[in-house]
């Protein structure tokens, strides 16, 4: 197999893996960056990542910062190396599931809290004669169902959240 053919296959793998990673709410640049770090298997500098992706060092730095916040990559130290090095976390399932579930739990909680605030406003509101009691009751009932829906989302994602190792 020629080096050119190997590079082509490597790029295909990175592209396909990045598509999977994108499903966990990473943008395409972050997903490709993670895929390259994972495929490489060794820590890389921002310059190396920039060259591998053909992107600016600033763009790579922004992507790495996002991946660091999600705990999908880590900064590593290597004796004699002055530049920062980064590597992908090898425990893919746990990291991605934790990040994905955390986002869903946060979003469901925020939305549920917002809906509960609206519920309080609705409870405290006085309505004029044009507003029928049936319409208000219907709205209140639907709002209660939306809150219950978000509660079910929270419970479901809490249930499937990977347990911490002891």
Q: Which of 120, 123, 121, 111 is nearest to 148 (CA)?
A: 111
81-108 tens-digit pLDDT: 888 999 998 787 777 778 788 888 999 9
33-78 tens-digit pLDDT: 999 999 888 999 999 999 999 999 999 999 999 999 888 899 998 8
Q: What is the arithmetic mean of pLDDT over 99-127?
A: 89
pLDDT of residue 148: 95
Whether the model pTM is above 0.85:
no
Contact 39, 48 (CB under 8 A): no
Give me the helix-helix angle, 57-69 and 28-40, nearest 10°: 80
Please state, for a pLDDT cut of 90, what percent of the chain lies above it.
Answer: 46
């Amino acid at each position: 197999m020629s080096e050119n053919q190997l590079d082509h296959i490597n790029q295909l793998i990175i592209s396909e893996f990045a598509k999977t990673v994108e499903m966990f709410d990473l943008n395409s640049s972050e997903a490709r960056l993670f895929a390259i770090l994972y495929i490489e298997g060794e820590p890389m500098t921002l310059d190396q990542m920039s060259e591998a992706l053909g992107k600016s060092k600033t763009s790579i730095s922004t992507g790495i910062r996002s991946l660091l916040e999600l705990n999908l990559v880590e900064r590593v130290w290597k004796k004699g190396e002055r530049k920062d090095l980064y590597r992908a976390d090898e425990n893919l399932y746990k990291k991605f599931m934790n990040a994905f579930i955390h986002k869903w739990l946060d979003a469901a909680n925020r939305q549920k809290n917002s809906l509960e605030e609206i519920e309080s406003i609705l409870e405290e509101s006085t309505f004029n004669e044009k507003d029928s009691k049936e319409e208000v009751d219907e709205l209140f009932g639907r709002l209660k169902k939306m809150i219950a829906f978000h509660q079910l989302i929270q419970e479901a994602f809490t249930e499937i959240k990977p347990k911490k190792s002891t």
